[in-house]
Structure formats: structure tokens, C-alpha cells
Amino acid sequence: MTKPSDILLLQQIDHVLVVTLNRPHAANAINLVMVTELVDLLFELHLDPGQTRCVVLTGAGERVFCGGGDMKERGTMTPEAVRRQRGMMEQLITYLQSCPVPIIAAVNGAAIGGGCELVAAVDFAYGADTATFSLPEVRLGISPGAGGTQTIPRACGVRRAMELILTGSPFSASEAHEWGLLNKVVPANELMAAVLEVAHTISANAPIAVRQAKKAVAIAPQTDFNTGFRFELEAHGRTAGTRDRQEAIAAFGEKRKPVFRGE
């Protein structure tokens, strides 16, 4: 999958697509062009992921993952453009949550406001030990608008989310890990290697099985056990008759690694 852009850098590494937010001069802040291109990219992954089996989302440079919304641009936007950007941000968070392909954030630096909400919206995240986080919206006269009031409680618990969102206070990578926002913290110079390792592990698994398992896990916090279990059984049934399942059985008997094709 290719897409010419200087705001989003795309690199396909086997079955892993690395997406880099590329506005280091503006703290990788999300402007209207960036959010539009992210929505377009995720829409294409929904329609047909092609060879992509896992996505890694990161920021350009070493200081900032994403500085949130572009406040400088916001000050010059017409009301129509503001409405469009809000609608696109809503679509972006929805697509991140529902994307059939797993998405991992590699948090290379500060994740501020909407940037922190991106981290909370993806499937899971690794962070550099130098990364920092904050949800400063209430200090700027607004409340979170990129899913943070829903995703942060799910990651960190309601009481911790209340503290983080209502104070707007920054927190460290180690705190983000302790509280559940990050799955792992590694030295900054080892971050991409660590994230690519887990991304390649995911992409080596059966693609249909991964997508079905992702959907089943995602619904768990939203429903009761019995409803979720029925959803799981439906997801499991979708994988049972696939060629990849037959390949796994054959490979087990032949004592070799299976070669999955997403069929």
C-alpha cells in the first residue's frame, strides 16, 4: 500500500505498515490535511488491507509523538473548516477503534492532548522511556474530543482517568505503563525495534484469526460475559473453516511452521 505524502510517511516492511506522523516542525500536530489522510488510509485498510497485517503508528523525530490538534491552524480556520475537522477527528477515532488490522503505537516522545488520545485509541502501545503524556484540554477551555473520556477510563480505570483529565497534569512513560496506557517501556533507541518485533510476531499469525480475535476482545468491555462469549464463538466459527486453519493443522503434523495466506 503506497500513498504519496509528506505529512504521512508510509513504509511497508513485509506485512507491517509503519505510519509516521511527519510534521516535526509543528510537534507532529494534527492539522486538517493530516487527519484527512489518516482517515483515508484507515478507510482503505477497512476496505482491503492487502498485504498489511499490522500497523505501527509513530511520530517523526525524537521529541514528540503527537502534539495534539494544531492550535495555530485552528486560529485561522473558518467555521466550516472547524466543523469539517471535528467530523474528521470523530471518524479517525472510530476507524482506529474498528480497524480490522491491529494498530500499535510506538510513542517516541510527548503525546499531548489528541496525541495522547491516539495512543489510547489504538490496540496497544509501547513507549520510549523519555516519552511524556498529558491531557491538557481543560486548561485550554475545552474538554477532550478525540475519545479520551472513553478510552482513558478503559485503559487506566475511571478514577485515574478523572485525575488525569480533570487536572490536565503531565505524566511520565513509567506512570503510563503502571496505569495501563502503555504495555511496555523501552529505551528510546530500542523503541522501533521492540515494536517491529511484536508487529512481525502478529503479522506472522493467521490474518483472519487475528482480525476475528481482535473484534472479540474489543467487545469485551462493552457487554456482559454471556453476550461476549456468544460473539467469541461466532468469531471462532469464522476461522474454523479457513484454509489457514487447515494449513496450521497440516504444518503441526509435518513439524514445520505454517505459511498463512489470509484465506
Q: DSSP string covering 10-49, please?
A: EEEETTEEEEEE--GGGTT-B-HHHHHHHHHHHHHHHH--
Catalytic residue among 62, 73, 117, 197: 117
Task: Give the active site residue among 44, 73, 80, 137.
Answer: 137
Q: Which residue has the cell 454471556?
A: 226
**Grid coordinates belonging to 125:** 502501545
**Has 137 been annotated as catalytic?**
yes
Domains of the chain plus CATH, in order, are 8-203 (3.90.226.10), 207-253 (1.10.12)
Question: Is 73 noted as a catalytic residue in this protein?
Answer: no
263 residues of the chain, pLDDT tens digit each: 445 569 999 999 999 999 999 999 999 999 999 999 999 999 999 999 999 999 999 999 989 999 988 878 777 878 888 888 889 999 999 999 999 999 999 999 999 999 999 999 999 999 999 999 999 999 989 899 899 999 999 999 999 999 999 999 999 999 999 999 999 999 999 999 999 999 999 999 999 999 999 999 988 888 999 999 998 899 988 898 888 888 888 988 888 888 888 88
* pTM of the full structure: 0.91
In whole angstroms, what is the distance from residue 150 CA to residue 84 CA? Answer: 22
Answer left, alpha or beta for residue 126, where phi above 0 means left and psi between -120 and 50 means alpha: beta
Give the rounded distance of the alpha carbon of 233 from its chain centre. Answer: 26
Interatomic CA distance for residues 258 and 197, integer angstroms: 19
